[in-house]
Chain A
Amino acid sequence: NAGVTQTPKFRILKIGQSMTLQCTQDMNHNYMYWYRQDPGMGLKLIYYSVGAGITDKGEVPNGYNVSRSTTEDFPLRLELAAPSQTSVYFCASSYDTTRETQYFGPGTRLLVL
């Protein structure tokens, strides 16, 4: 049972480059989330999705885009990478909102130079 998987594990980007962080879950969860964790800090919500075709902004959405074409996948797109986007990115999923536990992927460490 894979749970939530994320690729890549680590990536170095140059300023201005773009990339997509992949997230897949095999638990048939409706809700999926993207968080970022800056050093010494808790996690902050970037975007979330309540189902295929439905996405919405979280606390810190600027510089990111998402799509949700299937229940399983929730990719996060970084356009024009900036040093401020250096962070660890976590994808999470839950069956339902608020009541249910969110299960996290292993994270993607991104360094923008």
Chain B
Amino acid sequence: AQKVTQAQTEISVVEKEDVTLDCVYETRDTTYYLFWYKQPPSGELVFLIRRNSFDEQNEISGRYSWNFQKSTSSFNFTITASQVVDSAVYFCALSAFSGNTGKLIFGQGTTLQVKP
């Protein structure tokens, strides 16, 4: 079975704090892809990053960074020096190769509130 768990339902931080959103996944496939999406209060889903299972290098994009560790089946997302505009629901998702359907398995999401 494939599953994504985002154990943190809600996180509240003060602006400029660093914050890490956790994502743990389960799959038996050796080839898979992991994604992070942002859902701001306006409701749309914004793609942030895609990572394949063979690339364990960490990635940094501005204030955003991602830590992928196959040993712990985790794909955590860190926002450095958070800003009010980062307030949103963040979803981690898994796409496995089996069945070739590209079905995304979503976690339940983590609501991040950044207070000024």
A interface residues (Cβ-Cβ under 8 A, vs B):
31, 33, 35, 40-45, 48, 50, 56, 58-59, 88, 90, 92, 94, 96-107, 109
Interface-located stretch among B57-65, B69-77, B80-88, B104-112: B104-112
Q: List 29 A-B contacts (CB under 8 A).
A: A33-B104, A40-B109, A41-B108, A42-B91, A42-B108, A43-B45, A43-B91, A43-B106, A58-B103, A88-B43, A90-B45, A92-B45, A94-B102, A97-B102, A98-B31, A98-B95, A98-B101, A99-B33, A99-B52, A101-B35, A101-B50, A102-B47, A104-B37, A104-B44, A104-B45, A106-B43, A106-B44, A107-B43, A109-B43
**Cross-chain contact A97 with B101 (CB below 8 angstroms):** yes
CB nearest neighbor in B for A90: B45
A88 to chain B, nearest CB (A): 7
Q: Which residues of A contact B50 (CB under 8 A)?
A: 101
- Chain A hits for B95, CB < 8 A: 98
Known: A104-B45, A106-B43, A106-B44. A42 touches B106 (CB 8 A): yes
Contacts of B103 in A (CB 8 A): 45, 48, 58-59
Q: Once the chains bind, are B102 and A96 in contact (CB under 8 Å)?
A: yes
Contacts of A101 in B (CB 8 A): 35, 47, 50
B residues less than 8 Å from A40 (CB atoms): 108-109
**Inside 8 A of A99's CB, which chain B residues have their CB?**
33, 52
B100, CB-defined interface residue at 8 Å: yes
CB nearest to B104 among chain A residues = A102
**In the bound complex, how far is the Cα of B47 from the Cα of A99, in angstroms?**
14
Residues on A with C-beta less than 8 A from B96 are 98
Tell me the B12-67 residues at the A interface (CB within 8 Å). Answer: 31-33, 35, 37, 43-45, 47, 50, 52
A97 contacts B100, CB within 8 Å? Answer: yes
B47 x A98 contact (CB < 8 A): no
Chain B positions within 8 Å of A43 at CB level: 45, 91, 104, 106
- Chain B residues in 8 Å Cβ range of A94: 102
